[in-house]
Amino acid sequence: MQCLRGKKNVSDLARNIFDKVKSQREESNANHEQSSEDFEIVCLHIDINNYSHIKDYLCKIVISFKTFNDIDGCVKHLSSVQNKKIFLITSNIFVLNILPLVYNIEQLQYIYVYDGGEGHRIEIEEKYKKKISDIFYSENALVNKLADDISSSLNYIEIPMSILCADASQKPIHDLDDDSKTFLWHQFLFDALLHVPSQSDIVVETIIDHCRMEYSEETEEFKKIEYFYRNYDSREALWWYTHDTFIYRQLNAAMRLKDLNKIFLFREFIIDIHTQLLKLHSNMIMADNVDERRGNQSLLTIYKAQYMEVNKVQNLVKNIGNLLSVDTYLFTTNEKKTAMSFFRNNKNCQLTPFSSILFEFNIDIHVVTKPYANILVTDDKYLISMGTVFRITSATVMPETDIWIVKLDLSSEETRQLKKLGDYYKCQISTKAKTTDSIAYEAMKTFGDFLVTLKEYTKAEIYYNNILKYLPTNYPLLAQIYNKIGKIYWYKNDANNSLKLHSKALQICENSTPCNYLLVAKTYSYIGRSYSLKNDNMMALISHKTSLEIQQKYANYEHIDFVEPLNNMGEILTKIGDYSAALVNLEKALDICLNVSPSNYLLLSTTYNNIGWLHLSAGDYSKALVSFNKMSEYECNFLPKNSSSFGTTYNLLGYVHYLTGDNTIALLYYLKALDVYSKCYPSMKHWSVAEVYRNIGQVYFKQLDYSKSLEMYDKAFDIYQKYGWNSFQDSIQFLRGYSQIYNAKQQFRKALKYTNKALEIQLEHVPSDFIAISSTYTSIGQIYRQIGDNLNSSEYFKLALRTLLKVKNNINIVILVQAYCNVATALFSTGEYDSALSHFQLALDVYTNECQDSISLSDIYNLMGVINQKNGDYESALKLHEKALEQETDSTKIEAIYNEIGTIYCKICKYDEALNNIKKGLEQKEKEMSSSSYYQLALIYCKTKTGTII
């Protein structure tokens, strides 16, 4: 193993790198966007212990070290690192092996190759050279270059900003681009943090407990942590944030990574900063000397210099006129020359992919906004609060330089637009507000509902659980918070935890004085949804009915709040097949919507959707189309033209036409859905797009075009693999469809692979959905039967039957009879005739006692006859085949039954009877006489030796 060997001047080298990085960090700290903690040095097959002096000095400025002796472990780590810049040191022996594996990793800045002078010359391919800093033959050269690169990199960290797209007010949240979602994320979160009940006595403890685990006791930062613990005062929050301490690094990293747990650790500290900044802001506005120093009584102009990637600059130019949010506390100066000095001081280290940017912030001081203040009166440094919103007014290149001047304004117009947008999105993501809800609760729930709207359920759960830590046990809206968490569990398909949280909320509601009956009713509705997720439809129905009865007791009959429980009851009744009762409830809901709130698009759309699905489930496709078209009409009247909801509706209409067999119309609707999604999601990488691809694949499958079907499924699968499944139900449905295609293409091993994956998901998420799991077991059994693996086929058919027998209520008799028949057929294939016969008898008993459906009784009798024939019980076999004849109407099957009867008569030497039955079989299909019939005739004639020819 090649290693960096220590030399006499190793301490000097260590001091060199320490001084260079520390000096640059102090300058960077004034700009306050990044620290050296955002870097990591990784050593592969380098003995860092011989380089301990350098390691010690780097630890003092908190640079992370990782050492690896194996390439696989190193590559795995490099691939997992996010939001850090990595500098890799390795030897000339190992660099060629690791280069192809890591050169595309974005976080990897440079690779430093150390040649110990043993003659291992290497040739680096041209495509890899951009990652190679150089090949070094001495420690001095390597360390100096590493120090230069780290110090230079400190200048290239962009201000955390997000831009709201121009047409944001015409889109639902889930259709916004990622940058716009980040914009709202910071706006809603900051508002929520300011409204969570304060516990200022825990600010030090929460930060200290976390940071002590983050830093080694040998570091300078650990000493600062201990000093913070002993001396922190809330009036000094700005001092701690603006100086070279662990505080700003940890807080900025938490905001950059959107780490809600860590953000809440610093929540009280953020409040302290905000409070102090508000006070300074107020003093600044009121002070007479502010106007005198500024020279303009209404406008404050401040500056910020920055290097920025070229594509980010182009994005700023493209978004001139749009709103921009500063997503961190931002240091600025009111002296343009001071800001410009940033470029002069770093002119020798500018990288080509970056441009020089001077931000000019023009602030109308009379506008009420988030606070900003001159935090160092003698130094003209201004701190802008995180979440402050500006409008991008221009972006031009300064004459005779390559420096961009980007102007941003903050005036009353930006403030009005931001409030309007905030109200617009709050209406989208939150249930309608009650007058009893406090402003604080509205702020807290808005961010949580925002996360749920984005389907970031785990983050939403983390957020609300952090909220609970701050709420007193007598908090008046505690039940609502528990209901919020219960809903999140419901979205995550965790029925048990959802029920647990809603039940806790109900207990709090019922023990409160006075009792909030509307909240009790709402909670019963949530409990009903949890029971529905558990497939406990009876308890779900009872809960929704209780919710409705409570509301009817305290409100007028035609109250809009009745619509939700009526819809929920309609869904449950549809699910259990009571379509007439379901329709009664859904039509009541529709009447209330039309009479009380005809402009409530969401409730009307939901109700028409539920009525459509009711008719769809009942097999009345024409009525389903009427309802879905009605839903589409309301969408056209109330939704913006580019809403993704139109794509969802087109997809649904396509599905109905697919079920009716009108594949051409189905494809047209699916293509219309894709056209809508192409405008909402230009990359076409979204769950909704994947669903349409899957549905198009189903159409092609129905048309027996398995290659095109597989092509569509592959497109959908690519999206699911990158972005995950929209829900576990979607994953099951998709995998079953994938299996179906491979099965049709006779690629049975792949068909088994995907069906087994679907089964794994079912057993994990819905172990009590016995009907669905039984169906999957049956599919696996059928695939094994096609392969010819009768033993495995038999086992899975048995599993399907045992699972189906666990269903307590409303079991589908046809499915049960088929399950018995599948087991019986499999047992027959493995030669277990007695067991096969008993299962056929069980199928027959179920059929004759309860089934009025269209399952073939003839098949059961016929197969039982075959088994008796195998067992030598010819008399019973004949009786069963004759019963089969009485039930059968299909000429091909009748011919087969006559053949079986003829075979039995032949075996008992009644050749005339045998011939008569074979002839009767031939009469069923004289023009298409089967080879089996010819064979039977030949066999009988040979035995009778008559030589007679028909």
DSSP-derived 3-state class of residue 783: helix
Average pLDDT across the chain, whole number:
83
- pLDDT at site 438: 75
- pLDDT at site 169: 81
**Confidence band, pLDDT 50/70/90 cuts, at residue 9:** low
Region 741-752: what's the mean pLDDT? 94
Share of the chain above pLDDT 70, in %: 84
How far does Cα 424 stand from its chain's mean position?
Answer: 24
pLDDT at residue 566 above 90? yes
Region 12-22: what's the mean pLDDT? 56
Q: Choose between 352 and 375: higher pLDDT.
A: 375
pLDDT at residue 433 above 50? no
CATH homologous superfamily for 856-950?
Answer: Tetratricopeptide repeat domain (1.25.40.10)
pLDDT at residue 129 above 60? yes
* pTM, two decimal places: 0.77
Any idea which residue has 């992919």 for tokens? Answer: 353
Please name the amino acid found at residue 584.
V
Find residue 384's DSSP bridge partners: 330, 372
Region 514-537: what's the mean pLDDT? 92
pLDDT at residue 429 above 80? no
Region 443-447: what's the mean pLDDT? 91
pLDDT at residue 898 above 60? yes
pLDDT at residue 302 above 80? yes
CATH 3.20.20.10 holds for 640-724: no
Q: Check: CB of residue 110 under 8 Å from CB of residue 149.
A: yes
Give residues with Cβ within 8 angstroms of 385, minimum separation 6.
274, 277, 329, 370, 371, 372
Helix (H) or strand (E) holding 325: strand 323-326
Fold of 726-835: 1.25.40
Q: Choose between 174 and 756: higher pLDDT.
A: 756
Question: For the domain 10-153, what is the CATH code?
Answer: 3.40.50
Let me know if the fold of 726-835 is the same as that of 856-950.
yes
DSSP-derived 3-state class of residue 329: coil
pLDDT tens, residue by residue, 463-496: 999 999 888 888 888 999 999 999 999 998 899 9
Question: For the domain 158-429, what is the CATH code?
Answer: 3.90.176.10
Region 419-426: what's the mean pLDDT? 82
pLDDT tens, residue by residue, 377-416: 556 889 999 999 999 999 999 988 889 999 999 988 878 8
pLDDT at residue 218 above 50? yes
Region 629-639: what's the mean pLDDT? 88
**Confidence band, pLDDT 50/70/90 cuts, at residue 3:** very low
Q: What is the dihedral of CA 825, 826, 828, 834, to 10 degrees?
A: -90
- pLDDT at site 295: 53
Torsion sign across C-alpha atoms 67, 73, 74, 80: negative
Judged by average pLDDT, the poorest of 279-283, 547-551, 612-616, 769-773 is 769-773
pLDDT at residue 362 above 90? yes
Query: DSSP letters of 178-235?
Result: HHHHHHHHHHHHHHHHHHSPP-GGGHHHHHHHHHHHHS-TTSHHHHHHHHHHHH--GG
**Confidence band, pLDDT 50/70/90 cuts, at residue 642:** confident
Query: Where exactly are the structural domains of the chain?
Result: 10-153, 158-429, 640-724, 726-835, 856-950
- pLDDT at site 52: 59
Q: Choose between 25 and 890: higher pLDDT.
A: 890
Share of the chain above pLDDT 90, in %: 40
